[in-house]
């Protein structure tokens, strides 16, 4: 299983780190004058955030069905290449309408990344060993936040180079990195255990047998039909899974999109703001891995998730009630990031690992992530 970890976890983590980075780097770019140059007055910046979620929500289930049809390494690396190109284009737009168009297509192409990676992960591990892997993968979002702040701070020094403001270089360089990595990932991304060429026949049989004992037959040989997708929704608990993810997604995106603006409000320069955004993300990673270890060790999800959510609530309470005390407000951002990004992987793992077989897991995971991301629409209200 250590060999499985080395072939599966690192590549999926890097994939989603780059996907999340390309999604939320608009908040880093905005610190370098994007709204001013594109004349984003009123709610235009929020509209640019929200339009991403429309295709992102709609195409989750179709994307997971296509992932099984074409195999993960083909589908995920192809989408990765294309959303990297769109991110580069985002740095070249000249108007508000151009920004909306690139954000829309970014949503189309990123729609399968998160549920697709969770779908692949769930087909490799038993329920009792999954949480640490899920949380480590999910924590690539926190690493993306930390890495994005450091990278944006460095890129900010390129302001004015070749006639481009710093915000354009944020998109261009980070999108170029994604495109570059996608070529290697066509060969490196893991497929399902039944397709893994780096496993011998006996090893594939072993992985299949241990998962059948834990979760039942996978039905990997049968394609997913519209009837299969409809049958998944006959179980009311599938609908509850969507709501389980909907509620934490609201504060998660609130933090990802608006924390740089909050920190900038403390009077820091743009580059200093980027650097101050890193520590909360780093602490969120450590907290998520701690809660994951406790959850797997105790084989319990509910109370661990409640503890993480309570941590986030304390942070929000501090932000609402404490004013004119910069250190306390900055400390509250740590609690919000730790609690929110510590609870979300537990919620997703809890739901996903109780969906047996390719059909239920493919459709159910996409439904949970798709419905949950409707919460991102709130910021356009």
**Percent of the chain at pLDDT above 70?**
96
**pLDDT at residue 379 is higher than 90:** no
- With bands split at pLDDT 50, 70 and 90, how would you rate the model's confidence at 32? confident
- With bands split at pLDDT 50, 70 and 90, how would you rate the model's confidence at 311? very high
Report d(CA 358, CA 256) in Å as an integer: 32
Report d(CA 266, CA 259) in Å as an integer: 11
- Look at residue 223 in the predicted model and tell me its pLDDT: 66
Give yes or no for a contact between 12 and 179, defined as CB atoms under 8 angstroms apart: no
Report d(CA 36, CA 159) in Å as an integer: 14
- Look at residue 338 in the predicted model and tell me its pLDDT: 94
Residue range 166-184: average pLDDT?
Answer: 93
Residue environment code for 236-258, b if the CB has 16+ CB neighbours within 10 A, otherwise e: eebeebbebbbebbbbbbbbbbe
Please calculate the CA angle 325-333-279 and round it to the nearest 5 degrees.
110
- Tens of pLDDT, residue by residue over 43-96, are 898 899 889 988 988 898 888 888 888 889 999 999 999 999 999 999 999 999
The larger pLDDT score, comparing residue 229 to residue 79, is at 79
CATH number of 2-380: 1.20.1250.20
Residue range 243-258: average pLDDT?
Answer: 87
- Look at residue 291 in the predicted model and tell me its pLDDT: 93
The larger pLDDT score, comparing residue 227 to residue 11, is at 11
- Look at residue 75 in the predicted model and tell me its pLDDT: 94
Report d(CA 141, CA 104) in Å as an integer: 21
Residue range 123-148: average pLDDT?
Answer: 82
Determine whether 5 is exposed, middle or buried from the number of CB atoms within 10 Å of its CB (0-12, 13-18, 19+). Answer: middle
- Look at residue 218 in the predicted model and tell me its pLDDT: 54
Quote helix, strand, coil % in the chain, to nearest 5: 80, 0, 20
- With bands split at pLDDT 50, 70 and 90, how would you rate the model's confidence at 217? low
Which residues 6+ apart lie within 8 Å of 325 measured at CB?
none
Report d(CA 164, CA 150) in Å as an integer: 20
Pick the range with the lowest mean pLDDT from 38-52, 83-97, 155-169, 183-197.
Answer: 155-169
The larger pLDDT score, comparing residue 115 to residue 176, is at 176
Q: Residue 326: in which H helix or E strand, if any? A: helix 326-352
- Tens of pLDDT, residue by residue over 81-114, are 999 999 999 999 999 999 999 999 999 999 888 8
Go through the chain and tell me how many residues it has: 381
> Which sign does the torsion angle of CA 220, 226, 232, 234 carry?
negative
40-44 long-range contacts (CB < 8 A, ≥24 apart) are 40/96, 40/99, 43/380, 44/96
- Tens of pLDDT, residue by residue over 343-373, are 999 998 898 888 877 778 888 888 888 888 8
301 HSE (CA, 13 A, CB side): 21
Residue range 123-132: average pLDDT?
Answer: 85
- Look at residue 265 in the predicted model and tell me its pLDDT: 86
């Amino acid at each position: 299983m250590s060999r499985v970890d080395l072939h599966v976890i690192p590549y999926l983590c890097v994939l989603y780190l780059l996907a999340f980075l390309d999604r939320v780097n608009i908040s880093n770019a905005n610190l370098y004058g994007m709204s001013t140059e594109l004349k984003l007055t009123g709610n235009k910046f929020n509209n640019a955030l929200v339009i991403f979620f429309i295709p992102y929500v709609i195409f989750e289930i179709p994307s997971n069905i296509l992932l099984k049809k074409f195999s993960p390494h083909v589908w995920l690396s192809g989408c990765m290449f294309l959303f990297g190109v769109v991110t580069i284009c985002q740095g070249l737009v000249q108007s508000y309408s151009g920004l909306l168009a690139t954000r829309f297509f970014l949503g189309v192409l990123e729609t399968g990344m998160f549920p697709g990676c969770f779908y692949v992960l769930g087909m490799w591990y038993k329920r009792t060993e999954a949480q640490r892997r899920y949380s480590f993968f999910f924590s690539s979002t926190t690493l993306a936040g930390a890495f994005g702040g450091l990278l944006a701070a460095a890129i900010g020094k390129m302001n004015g180079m070749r006639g481009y403001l710093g915000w354009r270089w944020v998109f261009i360089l980070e999108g170029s990195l994604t495109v570059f990595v996608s070529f290697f990932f066509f060969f490196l991304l893991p497929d399902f255990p039944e397709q893994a060429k780096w496993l011998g026949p006996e090893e594939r049989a072993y992985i299949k047998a241990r998962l059948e004992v834990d979760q039942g037959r996978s039905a990997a040989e049968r394609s997913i039909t519209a009837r299969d997708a409809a049958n998944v929704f006959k179980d009311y608990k599938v609908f509850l899974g969507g709501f389980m993810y909907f509620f934490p997604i609201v504060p998660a995106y609130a933090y990802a999109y608006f924390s740089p603006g909050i920190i900038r409000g403390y009077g820091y320069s743009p580059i200093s703001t980027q650097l101050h955004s890193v520590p909360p993300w780093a602490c969120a990673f450590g907290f998520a891995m701690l809660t994951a270890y406790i959850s797997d060790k105790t084989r319990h999800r509910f109370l661990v998730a409640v503890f993480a959510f309570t941590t986030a609530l304390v942070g929000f309470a501090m932000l609402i009630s404490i004013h004119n005390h910069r250190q306390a407000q900055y400390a509250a951002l740590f609690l919000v990031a730790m609690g929110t990004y510590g609870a979300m992987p537990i919620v997703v793992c809890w739901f996903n690992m109780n969906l047996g077989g390719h059909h239920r897991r493919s459709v159910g995971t996409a439904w949970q992530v798709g419905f949950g991301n409707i919460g991102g629409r709130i910021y356009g209200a």
